[in-house]
Amino acid sequence: MWLNSALSLLPLAVLAFALPTKDCELKVKESVVPPATWTKFGAAPPDHMIKLRIALPQSNFRALEEHLYEISNPYHERYGAHLTKEEVEALVAPHPESVDSVTNWLSSHGIGEGDISRSPAGDWLIIEAPVSLIETMLDTKYHVWKHATTGEYLVRTTSYSLPKYLLDHVDLIQPTTMFGTFRKLESTIHSISSTEGQIQSLDLAPIVDSATGITVDGSCNSTITVNCLKQIYNAVNYTPSADVGNSIAVTGYLDQFANFADLQAFYADQVPAAAAANATFNVVSIAAGNNSQDPTQAGVEANLDVQFAFGLTFPVESTFYTTGGLPPFIPDVRRTTNSNEPYTEWLDFILGHPNPPLAISTSYGDDEQTVPLSYAQRACTGFAQLGARGVSLTVSSGDGGVGDSDPDPATQQCITNDGTNRARFPASCPYITAVGGTKFFPEQAASFSGGGFSDWFARPAYQDSAVNAFLGALPNGTYAGLFNASGRATPDVATQSEFFRVFAGGVARQVQGTSAAAPTFIGIVGLLNDARLKKGLPSLGFLNPLLYSQAASGFNDITVGSNPGCGTPGFNATKGWDAVTGLGT
């Protein structure tokens, strides 16, 4: 029941009379230019229910950020001294005045405490209400919007207002101005119909990288397996443990289901010890997320993530998070709610978890241009909270090359809301490790590897030296005006991302994309965490300050390849950090 029963009986005139004059002084809180790919389809149905999220200002996030950088800096005396859940929540809890002001405002619209859900730190309030009421509350008008390419629909507005006295007590309200399409990031998928029983080319001569001295099976240039990754990344003889408190997880969205039978087929094919142990993974449902075991519904993305992340780290405790969230609104199908922003659903859950997994990978994202700055900033602060608690987070950098925005079908140029190219979100969040893609051995850049510069987030200090060197080496005028040279740069690192042998629906397939790179990198992080925990050391936590300092010497610099996109040749992989493969592999 979304309406307070007592208030619902009062005439609207009485409610209006009860409100102080200042409540009626409205001011626009947020306004956006809708992306060119979305057009108005019609007025939103007044009885359409929306799950509305209200973000209250976090009281002391800057202090949390200071803690995060200190405990993530290998040169600082506090390195590895991760914060507790309670310490983090105390730093981001809203001021009581904000809580009271917003609660009273909701009450004035008939929404009582029993109708409000609150995040663990109290910095998010969630209600469900019909469009008609929300339009009154926010002095706005919702419409149904249609995407020109996908045919998807959203219920959104381009501007909303609040009473002036509330402006400093609310960071943002969504879904209002967010036009994200939130999709998985694999580039292409195709079946291997002729190699069902075995991996081909086993008789090929081994490949030796003369620069590193590493030797890998000859088959690894046509089929990537767990053994190939362990060979390429020097982890062949490392055996992790199941009893040192280590843990790893991957996230699943958009009805992507991870299939247990496919995992067993994968293990039988590539990780015999896991197959012999009948190893599996935990499934945690968030917001009514499903994990159907119907083989016809097996998700290639979900199977890719769990098979390689967990195959690399067996027997470490592993978890698949399946987060619910309906597809965008369909005008001719009645929906009770409209939710396609599952990041915050997952963040609410994981931030409330007393012991979240120590390493988590995500292979989903949005074009940064479709995500309002306010929303991106708040989701990003959630990732920072996880980092402060000792959790390492990786995200695919995207599969569209440079810019990685939706290109115009006719020109292949990327047309954004304001005419500039942008990065992917959440890869552009500075508290996450963005993972680009490579191929072959010796490695070179994958052409689809997403990379570039954020318009929403400034470049963090830990990147300055590496990125400035890259920018200084660019020929004068290269892509002048097409990217924000002072923005957060992506990717941070890269791994293999082509020819991954994945089982889905009982069939072996090959998958390519940075969605393969992110779980691969988190798998290696899981092994490093295992080594640290065995020595009584804390988990690695937020990785980037370490990666751009001491750990940089442990990377293989990728200097071959580029990432064309948006009608341009893209950036080149060069010596040092680059906007194709980051620091390397």
Q: What residues are labeled active site?
A: 301, 305, 515
Strands 172-174 and 49-55: antiparallel
Q: How far, CA to CA in Å, does 423 sit from each of 366, 399, 427, 439?
A: 9, 11, 8, 22
Angle (CA) 290 509 563, round 5°:
95
Cα 238 to Cα 86, 227, 496, 572: the distances in Å are 35, 12, 19, 34
30: which strand partners? 160
For the record, the structure tokens of 320 come out as: 């698949």
Q: Is the peptide bond before 315 cis (omega within 30 degrees of 0)?
A: yes
304 closest CA partner among 316, 296, 314, 312: 312
Question: Is 232 annotated among the ligand-binding residues?
Answer: no
Tokens of 404: 């990685």
Rounded to whole angstroms, how far apart are CA atoms 539 and 537?
7
Instruction: Consult the annotation and say whether 207 binds a ligand.
Output: no
CB burial of 380-407 (b: ≥16 within 10 Å; e: otherwise) equals bbbbbbbbbbbbbbbbbbbbbbbbbbbb
SS3 417: coil
* DSSP characters over 525-584: HHHHHHHHHHTTPPP--S-HHHHTTGGGGGS----S-B--BTTB--PBP-SSSBTTTBT-
Token readout for 291 is: 């994990």
Point out the annotated binding site for Ca(2+). 557-558, 576, 578
Point out the annotated binding site. 557-558, 576, 578
